[in-house]
Every structure is written in structure tokens, then in C-alpha cells.
Structure 1
């Protein structure tokens, strides 16, 4: 493992070798392992606030999913199943061989669900934040990626585009700081990152929205597991609408749920204290200590 500071970041990161792939990650704290998974076109920096808050009780691990950020791409096209299949090896490489509390935002939620369905022995609980997988509706900005060659053209890096996409994920635009915009611009400047974004977006859906077959199959698998699950959403999400929380409650009737008011697509940032408190209480219930 080696240290790295590939992108603007307030915290150092490291690199793990996983089956010949280099995967960038951050690990802080001690205790039961918590795995944090970012959304499409994003990076582990989306979890900085939760590292700050959860590391007093847990070993908190975030990573750039394969092909995103500064992690190497998987061999072949990037798919939801491929992203999830890389995680057991990654967890072994960073010393988290037992089951983890898997926390996913947006695409990361779908990756966490896929991991749980494929390798239930590796997942202790699921916390899904504004997660993909519960409905067809998704922002037009992601749907147009399915149009060739328009999708590729739209991913050309520009500061204007980075600012626009960063503002879209927050209800309170003050969170779209210059540092976050610079990070988005740095990510957009990596060809491997953009190629992965396109491939994953097209794997999950098209211009009509998120595809139904994979969602139905995955939710049916997940519903068959006796896995503690908490689904949270921001009521002002412009990427995946908050109505998907009702769909999540219907698909996973045993799951807990919470709706954050005046909150966009990133409650782990925009409501960092409340999110961490919910997460800690949820994990504690799984331990049977609250």
C-alpha cells in the first residue's frame, strides 16, 4: 500500500493492490468496519464528513470505486455487478475480512445492495442514502449519457459544467464550495473516470431512465435476506426524486427509513451531524446495544 494525494483533499489517502488493480481508499478509526460507497461520477471525498464523525466508534473505510476517481478500471466494461465483485477482495486487502456495515449513496447504494445479494456473509447491515435502484426517474443529465455520441461530448471537462453538476446535488448551494467544484473538475479531467461513468450509466439505464429488470431482480434478492436495512433520502433531491423512498418502503417492508427535510442528493454532507447520528444509532441496534 502507498500513500496518495491525487485530488484536492483535506485528508491523505492510500492505495491497495487488489487482483492487479490499484484502488484508492481512506481508512480512519477503530472498531466495527463501516464501508462507504460513493455515487456515479463521484469519489471518496463525498464521505469526508462521515469519516470525521464516525471514526470515534468505527473503522471507517471509503474508496474510489473501480474506474472512478483515482482507482484503476476493471478489465472489460464497467457494470454494477463488476463494481460490487471487486469489493470482497478490496476489503480483504485492507484487513476487513469480516462483515461490514455497508453505506452507499446513489450508485453506491445499488453497489452495496448488489454486494449484499451476491456475498451476504460480507455485509452486516445496509444504509442506503438516496440510492439508485428504487425507481425509473433520474435526472436528465444522466439519461442523456445513453445517447451516442452526445454522452461523451457532455463529459468534456469545463469549470462551468463542474459548477453546474456540483450545485445540482445540494439543496443548500453554499455546499457547492470552490473546493468541491475544483474536485469535480479534476475528476472530469480523467478519461478513465469518464469512460467508467458512461459505461455504468448505460449498464443501469438509458434515455428513458433507470432500467426496470435489474432493479426488480436485485430488490427481490435483497428482500429475501434477513439484513438490517435503513433507507434515507433528501426531500429536495434533484437527481433521484424523494418519491423513491416510498418505493423503497414498499420493496423492503422490514427496512427502517428516514426523510431529511430541505436536503438534496447528499444528506451525508448536507446533514452530516444528523446523518452520522442516525447511522451510529442504526449500527448500535444491529449490535443489540441500544
Structure 2
């Protein structure tokens, strides 16, 4: 795994494929890391330059100096790509929070986006797992995040997948390692509280973001798992309404991260839309 210095912040990234090939950028969800995209490197790397990042303050990356918000994360990703020498239009793929960050990136810098793939994306509904809503309770959120250990981490991981076999020792160990990073709890709480509270995901930022994205029509794919326990698949209808030009697919018997629970099928779905645009 590699690190790059981005304006004084250490950002972790993984890259596969030909650097001259069209760039595909993979963004993970809240509290997660680039490991959530690992299979797609092999599946897409033969045709594309594939870059996954630990977004600032998540995974093993350091945080940005400013409080963590969607614009700060979006700017952090753009700055990371600039540092890596990738200034061409990119194919953006975002899972969960990464989907909201991808939309923020599109709204702020549309000329740098070729296609948009939203995977069980935040931004389309109020409902969210009770665990995330409880983070808004003063004092409780930080206490919860400090308790991610070898007893609690398996339960957290099980909520992400329909197939319990996906809850491997490696994923549990990585979750514990991430939770022990000094920036983990502060950044997690900052973005969670910026986006919602105990009553769920706030409507104001969702409406604002979708209003800003709507003028920038790009080839778009919307993907969901029908057993998502984090962001329910009922949000998919709102995503389809917000992106009426988009293609969409609902995976059966699949949880919050189809890109690793259904890796081969996922890659087969996204390759046609990537091929439509010459980067």
C-alpha cells in the first residue's frame, strides 16, 4: 500500500492498471477504507487506471485541518488526484458516504467527471441504521466508537453483508486497526453529525446537493443491494428520480457493499457505462 503527501496530509491509496488508461476512482463509506473496493482493482485494472483512496481522516489516512464535511472530503479527493498526477476526467464510483462525496465532486467540478456510479449511496433518504443515529447523542457517540474491538467489530461487519461468510478475520482485524487511528472518532463524529442526527439523515443537505448536481448530466449507474441494513434499498427510488437518465440495478440477497459481495457481477454491470466515455 502507498501513501502520498497532500498539502501536508498523509493520504493512503492503492493503484492498479496502466497509468495511461482511463482513470477510475473508488470511494468508500463512512468509517471504512479502500479495502472495500479491493476486488474491483483486479476486475477493472486490465482496462483502466484504478485508484482507491482512504478519504481524509478515514482508513489509515490523516485528516484535513478543517472540520470534516462533504466539500472538505471532495476537495481532499481532488487534491489527492492532483498530487498523483491524475488531472483527466475520471470515472467516479462511490459507496455509501463515498456516493455523496462523488456527487459533491461532480457538483463542484463537473468538467473533471466522466461517469458517476452510485453504490448504496447516501443522499437519498432519511432512514439509516440506528447505530449511526445514536452517534448524535452527546457523549454516547464517542463512547461507541471507542468500543470497536474484537467483540464488537464482528457485529458491525455482519451488518454490512447479507452473506455472513464475508465477515472474515481480515476484515475484523482491519476494522479494529482503523478504529485505533487517532483521527477515526473525531472525523467519524464530525461527518456523521454534519449529515444528520438521531432522527436520521438530514433533508437540507440532501436537497441542496441534488439541486447542485442536477444540471450536470453524466452517464450514471445506480446500484443497490436489497438487504442493505445501513441505507435501505427503498432509497433507490429517490435516486432514480434524482437521476432519471441513469441505469440501475438491484442485487438480490446482497447487503451494503455489492462491489465486494458481488464483485464479478458488479464489474460486468459497470464496464459498459465506463466504455461509453473516452476519457
Matched residue, 1:3: none
> What's the secondary structure of 1:180's corresponding residue?
helix
Q: Write the deviation string for residues 102-132 of structure 1: whole angstroms up to 9, x where unpaired.
A: 0000000000000000011111110000000
TM-score between both structures, scaled by the size of structure 2: 0.97
- Unpaired segments of 5 or more residues in structure 1? 1-12
| Residues paired across the two proteins, number | 276
The question of whether the paired residues in 1 share the 8 Å contact of 2:66 and 2:72 is answered with: no
Matched residue, 1:260: 251
Asked if 1:155 is matched to 2:145, the reply is yes
Aligned mate of 1:27, from 15, 21, 31: 15
Once residues 155 and 50 of structure 1 are traced to their aligned partners in structure 2, the CA distance between those partners, rounded to angstroms, is 29
Asked if 1:135 is matched to 2:125, the reply is yes
Two-structure CA RMSD over aligned residues (Å):
1.1
Once residues 49 and 194 of structure 1 are traced to their aligned partners in structure 2, the CA distance between those partners, rounded to angstroms, is 27
Once residues 214 and 277 of structure 1 are traced to their aligned partners in structure 2, the CA distance between those partners, rounded to angstroms, is 32
Aligned mate of 1:243, from 220, 230, 234: 234
Matched residue, 1:201: 192
Asked if 1:105 is matched to 2:95, the reply is yes
**C-alpha displacement of 1:191:** 2.6
Matched residue, 2:155: 164
Q: Which residues in structure 2 correspond to 1:72-111 (within 5 Å)? A: 72-111=62-101
Aligned mate of 2:165, from 174, 187, 195: 174
Once residues 58 and 193 of structure 1 are traced to their aligned partners in structure 2, the CA distance between those partners, rounded to angstroms, is 31
> What's the secondary structure of 1:48's corresponding residue?
helix
Deviates further, 266-275 or 155-164: 155-164
TM-score between both structures, scaled by the size of structure 1: 0.93
- Unpaired segments of 5 or more residues in structure 2? none
> What's the secondary structure of 2:135's corresponding residue?
helix
Once residues 162 and 196 of structure 1 are traced to their aligned partners in structure 2, the CA distance between those partners, rounded to angstroms, is 18
The question of whether the paired residues in 2 share the 8 Å contact of 1:88 and 1:122 is answered with: no
Q: Write the deviation string for residues 174-196 of structure 1: whole angstroms up to 9, x where unpaired.
A: 00111111111111111311211
> What's the secondary structure of 1:286's corresponding residue?
coil
Matched residue, 1:116: 106
